[in-house]
Amino acid sequence: MHVRIPHPEYVSLSASDNTLFIGYEMIEGIPLSDDIFHSTKDKQKLADELGSFLKTLHGVEAGSALDMEADFGTSNILIHPETGALAGVIDFGDSGLGDPALDFAALYAQYGEGFLEMCKASYGGMERVQERLDFYARTFALQEALFGIENDDKAAFENGIRTYI
């Protein structure tokens, strides 16, 4: 499967006071929130598109510890509201060389094991990263609790620490 996602054409680039801003035309789509995900009729098609996108993004044989990985938070996944198809993925500011298992762990943490399995089937070759994926998935609640401490966000702390108490 080949996923056709628009490549952004940058329309604004400015740098001042140690701040860099890059802008591009809006990609038509809405973030894949929990509500939108649960109302999506064709989850298999979406899983196939995300698995194919990640395989292309990672670009090297699955299992390497130095593959490309993204900031694959669910608010960065955009879908077409009418069709539920993948519209785009945004915010690559934190992407770089890393472990692609993190991207799959993010999908697991947000959408559950069933959807993760569908994405993995499209991606292929996941046997080598499964152990790391499981490890990362188990740390997300702790990361949320830590975020709550660092940012004085009581709700984030309580939501994250709830898993451990």
Rounded CA-CA distance 133/58 in Å is 15
Joined tokens for residue 9? 């054409």
Tokens of 100: 């692609």
Catalytic residue check, 71: yes
* 3-class SS of residue 9: coil
- Residue carrying the six token digits 């046997």: 127
- Who contacts 55 (Cβ-Cβ below 8 Å, separation ≥6)? 62, 122, 123, 124
Q: What is the dihedral of CA 131, 135, 138, 139, to 10 degrees?
A: -160
48, 67, 71, 103: which one is catalytic?
71
Neighbours of 79 (CB within 10 A): 22
In 3D space, the residue among 132, 97, 116 whose CA is nearest the CA of residue 44 turns out to be: 116
Q: Give me the active site residues, please.
A: 71
